[in-house]
Copies of this chain bind each other. A is one copy, B any other.
Amino acid sequence: MRATDSTGDGFAGHVFADPGLLEQALTHRSAGAPHNERLEFLGDAVLGLVVAEALYARWPKADEGSLTRARAELVRESALAAVARRLEVGERLVLGPGEMKSGGHRRDSILSDALEAVIGAIYLDAGFEACRRVVLSLFEDAVSAVPASKVGKDAKTRLQEWLQARQKPLPQYELQAEAGEEHARVFVVRCVLSDPEAAAEGEGGSRRAAEQAAAAGVLELLGAAE
């Protein structure tokens, strides 16, 4: 993204039909109303959806927990601030004199909020699809760069790696029950660790699914689900 894409009534290639929206999005609350906080609320939601969908499409096997964690990482304050710096948002921000003196235009929180506000402004200016294209242009590299280790791996694999990294013994998966008719079989598996001591049960329509559920349960106990 070249800085030339983001001058005057334009931002990241989008030219505003209503330049007042862009102006508001770039106005910090310290400079008085109308400032960008409401637009930030809206933009945060747009960004959340666009990144959610991009991850959903990019990682067809990733479970919900992995997708949630990957998204949180992509839209965390420092990541958004980095995008905002690339777009030279700081140079265009309108701040109150106090914030200006204390270097507010370089602060992660202010830059990240302003970027979200601009996304909200583009959404209001041009609708979801146009805004989605802009957001994807800003975030698709980051989405593509999410390592498979974060989202591509199932719970059993992640549990195994967690244990190996700590030179701990591998888990035991014990079939606890198997019931139901042929077409609606249910399996209950218990995943047991000896060190650290932990165990959880999982249920599923196949033995493998039940093992995955049990491993996910143990990962949660370990606080290693992330």
Q: Is the CB of B63 within 8 A of A204?
A: no
Q: Interface with B: A13-21, A36-44, A80-88, A142-150, which one?
A: A36-44
Q: Report if A97 contacts B (CB, 8 A).
A: yes
Copies of this chain in its oligomeric complex:
2
Q: Report if A186 contacts B (CB, 8 A).
A: yes
Could you tell me which residues of chain A, from 89 to 128, have a CB within 8 Å of some CB in chain B?
96-99, 123, 128
Known: A38-B67, A49-B48. A32 touches B97 (CB 8 A): no
Q: Which residue of B lies closest to A205 (CB)?
A: B32
Q: Is the CB of A64 within 8 A of B52?
A: no
Chain A binding site: helix, strand, loop or mixed by DSSP? helix
Q: Is the CB of A209 within 8 A of B52?
A: no
Interface size band for A: 35 or more
Q: Is the CB of B98 within 8 A of A203?
A: yes
How far, in angstroms, from A209 to B37 measured CA to CA in the complex?
Answer: 14
Q: Is the CB of A40 within 8 A of B53?
A: no
How far, in angstroms, from A30 to B206 measured CA to CA in the complex?
Answer: 9
Q: Report if A215 contacts B (CB, 8 A).
A: no
Q: Is the CB of B37 within 8 A of A45?
A: no
Q: Is the CB of B64 within 8 A of A37?
A: yes
How far, in angstroms, from A185 to B123 measured CA to CA in the complex?
Answer: 32
- Map CB proximity to B onto A48-71 as digits: 1 under 8 Å, 0 otherwise: 110011001000001110011000
Residues of B within 8 Å of A132, CB to CB, are 128
Q: Measuring CB to CB, which residues of chain A are less than 8 angstroms from any residue of chain B?
A: 29-33, 37-38, 40-42, 44-46, 48-49, 52-53, 56, 62-64, 67-68, 96-99, 123, 128-129, 132, 179-180, 184-186, 188, 203-206, 209, 213
The 4 closest A-B pairs by CB, nearest first: A32-B205, A45-B52, A45-B49, A37-B64
